[in-house]
Amino acid sequence: MLKKRGAGVLLHISSVPSDYGVGVFDDNVKKFIDKIADMGFTYWQVLPFNPLDGANSPYCSPSAFARNYLFIDPKQLADIGLVNEDDVKGKYIRRFPLHGGLRICI
């Protein structure tokens, strides 16, 4: 039985702003977690972020343990030497297509 009530936020990782047009696990996610904690929220509920099936659904994924590669931060890959800086350069999206280029503050 729960002894303490808690409130939460539902936000898919793809909805977190990033330089790549889809949210990635980067500093923006850490800022989001800190922000909702400061606001008194206890939980961050996420939707599945495993690979998509043939119909682009994460709910019937070919793997329950793998993660979708779109949510990997290319900058972090470069920082640990798995890709070089040239692979990461020029892959940024300067305008977010879904909200007309407005900057979102986290």
Q: Determine phi and psi for 44, rounding to 5 degrees.
A: -120, 110
Q: Give tens-digit pLDDT for 27-46.
A: 989 999 999 999 999 999 98
Is the Cβ–Cβ distance between 45 and 9 less than 8 Å? yes
pLDDT at 21 over 90: no
The radius of gyration of the chain from alpha carbons, rounded to an integer in Å, stands at 16
Task: Encode pLDDT of 57-106 as tens digits.
Answer: 888 888 878 888 888 888 888 899 988 888 787 665 554 444 444 454 44
